[in-house]
Amino acid sequence: MIARYTMPEMAAVFSDVARFERYLEIELLATEAHAALGVVPGADAAACRNRAPVVDDHFVQAVSEREAITDHDVAAFVDVVQDRIGAPAGAWIHYGLTSSDVVDTAWCWMMRDACDLLIAATGELLRTLVGMAHEHRDTVMIGRTHGIHAEPTTFGAKVALWALQVERDRHRLIDARRTVAVCKLSGAVGTYSNIDPSIEQHVAAALELHPVPATQVIARDRHAQFLYACAAVGTTMELIAVELRHLQRTEVGEVQEGFKPGQKGSSAMPHKRNPIAAETISGLSRVLRGNLQAGLQDVALWHERDISHSSVERVVLPDSALLAYYVLRRMNRLLQGLQVFPQRMLANLWASHGLVFSQPVLLGLVQAGLTRDEAYRVVQENATRAWDEGRSFRELLDDDPRVTVAESVLDEAFDLARAVRHAGRGVDALDTVHSG
């Protein structure tokens, strides 16, 4: 992932240094478990632990140089580790293991830790959204369907629905964490032919992973579920971002991204304050969905294994974790700095001359005895005139002899408070949301 969208805490999970540190710990734990069974001399296992190399940039470079000879990254890693530990103890490193035992266990360990960061980030975003929803519980605005004025709603109701979707994303991440927090050290084709199952159990317990049956590789539907959870996060962030982009359009002007001192919206037009954060989030969500597609194609492998998945995962697993984390954090910053303009929301609501109350008027006429179709035509004709002529919808209804309902019926139909009296139910639903 390019540095622009990389946050250090998530990058640390997938760095080359961190990956080789995980490989080394898996190898050392397996060697110690072999010693407990009497397969490896205890002194040699202790020597492996005591003389294990420090994994740093120099170590990574040494593995890279060795891989240029072996053309196999895990074999190169093992060669370097064995050389640093020295004979005879070093010869026990990787005993009974196949490359996927180490690589797959490390991947699952990394994905589990990535999930922890993502779950924490969704919790932070949830707290921001819940606070906004309560703050704007009674901030009235126009609801839109097909981009056209529909009926009144509240900004709090809108934000509450975002929060409830983020909560579902959080649960998806928790489920994905449970699914990927597994390991396998069962050797070639997964039959434990050259390694005792207790070795796997020892390593799993030490790493707080769960051993699972496998072929030579852990089933890739687990990885696909992780990628889906990341893609779902991105899609929710795009849902919010697209709405904010619409609300920031000049003609709407109901919200605005924060604009810090010294910031420039355009290199050419000094007046511009563009929704750059929301647009960035929308774009990155496309990458996350594309990565999911690649991950789904990794599920079907030849027989007990092939490596067609390997090259894909080196890209899509870390990149998806990094991007999902980035868009969560970026969205949280966006919302914390968001400017909301309640007066503009009200002005927009009334800009359609009261047409947003057409449904309660329709219902009032039906209650007065008109058929639904007759009532619909009366309301539609007056609504069309109101829009075309820029006139008050209510006044046109008052002047229409076909509208024989009591004035109180129309008063109630045009009562804004009545229209949004239940809009807070979505905000109330947040009482069950737990962001911790």
User: Closest by alpha carbon to 367, among 409, 422, 411, 415?
Assistant: 409
Confidence at residue 129, expressed as pLDDT on a 0 to 100 scale: 97
Residue 307 is given by DSSP the state S
Q: Among 315, 346, 377, where does a domain finish?
A: 346
Q: Among 95, 118, 148, where does a domain finish?
A: 95
In a domain, 45, yes or no: yes
Q: What is the mean pLDDT of residues 67-89?
A: 96
Q: Are residues 108 and 237 in the same domain?
A: yes
Confidence at residue 12, expressed as pLDDT on a 0 to 100 scale: 97
In a domain, 419, yes or no: no
Q: Among 297, 320, 346, where does a domain finish?
A: 346
Q: Are residues 74 and 122 in the same domain?
A: no
Q: Which residues pair with 149 in a beta bridge?
A: 144
Residue 53 is given by DSSP the state P
**Can you tell me whether residue 343 is helix, strand or coil?**
helix
C-beta of residue 288 within 8 angstroms of C-beta of residue 230: yes
Tally of structural domains, the chain: 3
Catalytic residue among 64, 193, 198, 266: 266
Q: For residue 187, which phi and psi values (nearest 5 degrees)?
A: 75, -170
- Give the Cα separation of 102 and 94 in Å (integer): 9
C-beta of residue 418 within 8 angstroms of C-beta of residue 408: no
Residue 140 is given by DSSP the state E
User: Closest by alpha carbon to 374, among 353, 400, 394?
Assistant: 400
pLDDT beyond 90 at 343: yes
In a domain, 424, yes or no: no
Q: Are residues 362 and 338 in the same domain?
A: no
| pLDDT tens per residue across span 399-424 | 999 998 999 999 999 999 999 999 99
- Give the Cα separation of 43 and 41 in Å (integer): 5
In a domain, 423, yes or no: no
* Residue count (the chain): 436
Domain housing 3: 1-95
C-alpha dist (Å) from residue 127 to 120, 236, 324, 427: 11, 16, 18, 13
Q: What is the CATH number of the domain that holds 223?
A: 1.20.200.10
| pLDDT tens per residue across span 191-247 | 999 999 999 999 999 999 999 999 999 999 999 999 999 999 999 999 999 999 999
Q: Are residues 122 and 107 in the same domain?
A: yes
Q: Are residues 275 and 139 in the same domain?
A: yes
Q: Are residues 340 and 279 in the same domain?
A: yes
Query: Rounded to two decimals, what is the model's pTM?
Result: 0.94
In a domain, 117, yes or no: yes
Q: Are residues 85 and 102 in the same domain?
A: no
At 282, the amino acid letter reads S
Q: Are residues 90 and 153 in the same domain?
A: no
- 303 flagged as catalytic: no
Q: What is the CATH number of the domain that holds 45?
A: 1.10.275.10
| Residue 356 CB partners (closer than 8 Å, separation 6+) | 142, 149, 150, 151, 152, 349, 419
pLDDT beyond 90 at 434: no
| pLDDT tens per residue across span 120-153 | 999 999 999 999 999 999 999 999 999 999 999 9
Mean pLDDT rounded to a whole number for the chain: 95
- 266 flagged as catalytic: yes
In a domain, 218, yes or no: yes
Q: What is the CATH number of the domain that holds 379?
A: 1.10.40.30
Distance from first CA to last CA of the chain, Å, rounded? 29
Q: Are residues 266 and 398 in the same domain?
A: no
The three-state (H, E, C) secondary structure of 194-258, written as one string: CCCHHHHHHHHHHHCCEECCCCCCCCCHHHHHHHHHHHHHHHHHHHHHHHHHHHHCCCCCCEECC
Residue 39 is given by DSSP the state S
Catalytic residue among 146, 271, 303, 434: 146
Q: Are residues 104 and 87 in the same domain?
A: no
Q: Are residues 317 and 195 in the same domain?
A: yes
In a domain, 430, yes or no: no
- Kindly give the pairing relationship between strand 148-154 and strand 182-183: unpaired
In a domain, 206, yes or no: yes
Q: Are residues 161 and 215 in the same domain?
A: yes
- Give the Cα separation of 215 and 130 in Å (integer): 45
- Kindly give the pairing relationship between strand 148-154 and strand 140-145: antiparallel
